[in-house]
Structure 1
């Protein structure tokens, strides 16, 4: 049996995220993810206000906003790191370390699978789905099913933006589309646009 490098990469990614989850624990992972999400959202939302309040004024408005977004982002990450440190110490004191690590490993598996699902969806926009290495993978079809479900959560305007950036030359095959009933093309396979 031939070795499929996509399948190997998928297994390695999930093993790495599982190992990180086990080593760090679910509390650390949860706070880490929440901190990054908060840092990104707060940087996007408040970059304009902070840019105006900064004592340093740069010549470029874009640079000024970039600086303010970076400061917000790093500030939130710093606060999150302190919170994470305190919670990790508290868990060690209480004695929930092993339980925390087991749950962390579970979260690591979920995060690894989510990352691969997103990658599968993005790679579906390329020419890779027409290659043998993609079609011979045993694991990719499972993540294609997950990415098809994930696409139902994407707002229509974002889907339209992606299609516009793709010049309309290719499109993802959504679940239940006309393409999937006429042929055996798996979901998320790139096909020529009909228009």
Structure 2
């Protein structure tokens, strides 16, 4: 009988140690990761180019800049003379945002022809140093340029960045009431 009691005591102690390990081991591993910077990703980088030096949209040499909602992000693309395919591409991206599509306004800069539904057009009044035909810019609700994309960027990359921006900058709960 004493042998059974000793085995039971060892078994109980092993169970207790296993329980401590279950709770303390993750904290020790996390502390080690933070202390020695092991296994921590360097961070996510946007697919577009960050543009902190560009002036606010209201300071761009454009005529009649308009967006649909006061708190909208703006997706502005510099349209060369013939940009129907590009305009359609950004229209489709806008639709792909689904329930967050109402938080984005599209703005075609330059170009001619009919503007697609849900977009506004603005004409350049003079050439800007940063102007680049085919380039796409993303502006925050305050009109600051956040990201710029080259004409050959993949649409999926822009969509991924926009979804992340909208997720990290949630809509104010009062925004829908204010709009009504």
TM-score of the superposed pair, with normalisation by structure 1: 0.22
Report which of the two has the higher share of strand: 2
TM-score, with normalisation over the residues of structure 2?
A: 0.23
Query: Greater Rg, structure 1 or structure 2?
Result: 2
Give the structure with the larger helix fraction: 1
